[in-house]
Chains A and B, each alone.
Chain A
């Protein structure tokens, strides 16, 4: 089972758990329809679309409403800490949550008790809290953007907002940031660094870069990174290695950008609808 968890910006929405169904009005789970804006809903939609293309069972979503007051995030951490071993998850992706080092460590302590550890993917708040707590080694894949890469390279920062200026200035030298992050054990074995050039890394080495096709107007669009994380999750669930999942997802994201011809004002739903076509085209190109 592919489990995708994170908060959604709906006030007082209780914890929902259930298979993710794509509807014309958004994603449906546990009897609720959630509008696809960005964040977890975009990530979950991307994963659900890829699972459908590979004829896999629907991914299971776990969401709770959180607009910043931590309540939904705490509900997710606590449920995972108590129930994850019984959920039968093969791949777990944790995404937008309010970083809470102590609660995240409780989830990780639960994972320590599992006979078969799931493949663990982290982005957004979960990636921040994993790094801040010194727990990156529990995960298999991180998917930072350039700003987050600088944070991962800074062993003193607890959050991207605290990245020190001299490291922020290194952003033009992404390989140097990657080297620093691996040297400080702040990242897991596999990492996909999202940017004008995407860097795919394994065990400290940059094994591939993707820079074409380049759709510059995708950079301001909220949610493009979420699509990549969702696709990597589904592709790993489909049996691809983390490295191959990154290789495919990076290309599909760019191809979806080509197909949707976005402006900086485009919203992520407009790109999402091109993912299946983009996947077919990329798989054909890759043979």
Chain B
């Protein structure tokens, strides 16, 4: 699989590490949130059949984290801008 690193261009997936679902925000109000909310952050991630926003890090390259949308059926990858 080729992964489009926003800094280095298309590279083989063996250069990257997978970082799971993207756009999963770290909870802000840690003192007040309840256990189920925290547990959802720790343990629950989307696992769609089809397009999925996910994070990768170019470990064997520029070491930058970035987000892409990958179709989990076809492995078609589209870059997205938001790197949070």
Binding partners A and B: no
List chain B positions with a Cβ less than 8 A from chain A.
none
List chain A positions with a Cβ less than 8 A from chain B.
none
